[in-house]
Amino acid sequence: MMNRSLWMGVALTALMAGGAAAQELKFAPGEEARFNWQSFEDFKSAHGDLKGQSLTLFGPWRGDDEILFNSVLAYFREATGVDARYSSSENYEQQIVIDTQAGSPPNIAILPQPGLLADLASKGFLVPLGDETANWVKENYGAGESWIGYGTYKGKDGAEAFYAFPYKADVKSLVWYVPENFEEAGYEVPETMEDLLALSDQIVEDGGVPWCIGLGSGGATGWPATDWVEDLMLRTQPAETYDKWVINEIKFNDPAVVGAIEEFGKIARNDKYVSGGVAAVASTDFRDSPKGLFDIPPKCYLHHQASFIPSFFPDGVELGADADFFYMPTYQAKADLGTPVLGAGTLVTITKDSPAAQAFIEFLKTPIAHEVWMAQAAFLTPYKGVNVEAYANDPLKKQGDILTSATTFRFDASDLMPGKIGAGAFWTGMIDYVGGKDAEAVATDIQNAWDGLN
């Protein structure tokens, strides 16, 4: 839940009439060693005979992200001669359904919702990308099997196929802190969850408060707690159990899920652990909750949140210096579960086939298709073939490393669940839980709500 772009700072690019970007290439081919220009030249040699063809692309990126994507698309145009035009809509999820059902889809549809794409595939609206592309993702992406899973759906004939190419990811498994605070107190970044809990105890013993947590978000109050539970599910249970939970094959009040909720409670329901005490957890807005890291003396030392949260840090905070993050560690006692990462991502599909559409999928296999956006802002990729030195800053580079070294990647569970559960009963249940209600009772309430959908 709640994905936002970080670290914007890109000059606006002129747009020509009709919607296609009339921009020069952001980085001149061959001029900067941090880019894999050979991949661009090889792609150009293989697909440079498509001049005169057109390609329509439709997706979620608007504003700054649209400008950034168009800066990438410019290289595809340059290499192929294709008139490639990207568009979006405020209600892009509904619009793509309308367009496909009306028989007027774009060539390429880009969506961050695997569930919606699975529905489109089941109705025959997506074109399979083939085993060769699926194998390429498996071999070239960190946690490649996970990404293949999020792009594999049943078609209209009931047979499974790979339909969706992953491009651009977001990371949620992060804990934020202020390096200066750690240095002054003599604390070290924990390498295991056991160490993280021991650090929390040490902070309390030293007279401090370890955590800032805020679940407030207006009508969406409670969603930050779902990220906590999802991260803890991946650290206490196999990924297969997580997957079954998402589709209700494992019930919400199963001991595996209740156990993850209770792990969250070890922190969120401990008055000594959270700034303002437990009573403040539900009432503190998530946008305000990290600010305690920067108070003097600090009101807290740790904050669990996704990669977008620096947008709400105080003005002038420099990432990597005034604030930093570490991967939310795993339990030493559960080392067999590997290094899972919770997050989200966008998936690229073909909804109207053409040689230009096939070429665009091939373009996404080039490092340059990733590095151009990486070098500007707000882009992470699990593609192991990119030059990490192309990242715009060290925090992005560090998050990119978390992605490529992940053994498992899983989408936010609440975003994959039915809306009345993932964006309803799960949210409110977490508020009830931090308010003192028993974890199993809360989980049973959520399961009852899910049963009521049938």
Strand intervals (E) in 80-163? 83-88, 108-111, 152-154, 160-162
* Predicted pLDDT at 279: 96
* Predicted pLDDT at 20: 44
Helix (H) or strand (E) holding 244: helix 239-246
Query: What does CATH list as the number for 174-340?
Result: 3.40.190.10
Tokens standing for 340? 């899972």
331-341 mean pLDDT: 97
Residue 378's pLDDT band (cuts 50, 70, 90): confident
* Predicted pLDDT at 230: 98
67-89 mean pLDDT: 97
* Predicted pLDDT at 372: 98
| Domain 37-171+343-411 CATH (choose: 1.10.10.10, 3.40.50.1100, 3.40.1360.10, 3.40.190.10) | 3.40.190.10
CATH 3.40.190.10 in the chain, residue ranges:
37-171+343-411, 174-340
Strand intervals (E) in 292-360? 303-304, 324-327, 340-350
* Predicted pLDDT at 454: 76
**Residue whose tokens read 């089941």:** 122
* Predicted pLDDT at 247: 96
**Residue whose tokens read 């009772």:** 441
Question: Does residue 36 surpass a pLDDT of 80?
Answer: yes
User: What is the sign of the dihedral through the CA atoms of 54, 57, 63 and 69?
Assistant: negative
Residue 24's pLDDT band (cuts 50, 70, 90): confident
Residue 23's pLDDT band (cuts 50, 70, 90): low
Question: Does residue 123 surpass a pLDDT of 60?
Answer: yes
* Predicted pLDDT at 30: 94
* Predicted pLDDT at 194: 98
Question: Does residue 122 surpass a pLDDT of 50?
Answer: yes
10 Å CB burial of residue 348 (0-12, 13-18, 19+) is: buried
Q: Which residues pair with 141 in a beta bridge?
A: 383
Instruction: Sort residue 6 into left (φ over 0), alpha (ψ -120 to 50) or beta.
Output: beta
Residue 212's pLDDT band (cuts 50, 70, 90): very high
* 290/44 Cα distance (integer angstroms): 46
Task: Kindly report the average pLDDT of the chain as a whole number.
Answer: 94
Question: Does residue 7 surpass a pLDDT of 80?
Answer: no
Residue 31's pLDDT band (cuts 50, 70, 90): very high
Residue 2's pLDDT band (cuts 50, 70, 90): very low
Helix/strand/coil for 371: helix
pLDDT tens for 227-240 read 999 999 999 999 99
355-379 mean pLDDT: 97
Name every residue whose Cβ is closer than 8 Å to that of residue 319 and which is 6 or more positions away in sequence: 7, 310, 393, 394, 395
pLDDT tens for 262-299 read 999 999 999 999 999 999 999 999 999 999 999 999 99
* Predicted pLDDT at 19: 39
* Entry pTM: 0.90
Question: Does residue 4 surpass a pLDDT of 60?
Answer: no
Share of the chain above pLDDT 90, in %: 94
* Predicted pLDDT at 440: 98
Q: What is the DSSP string of 141-189?
A: BTTHHHHHHHHEEE-TTS-EEE--EEEEEEE--EEEE-HHHHHHHT---
96-102 mean pLDDT: 97
* Predicted pLDDT at 35: 98
Residue 1's pLDDT band (cuts 50, 70, 90): very low
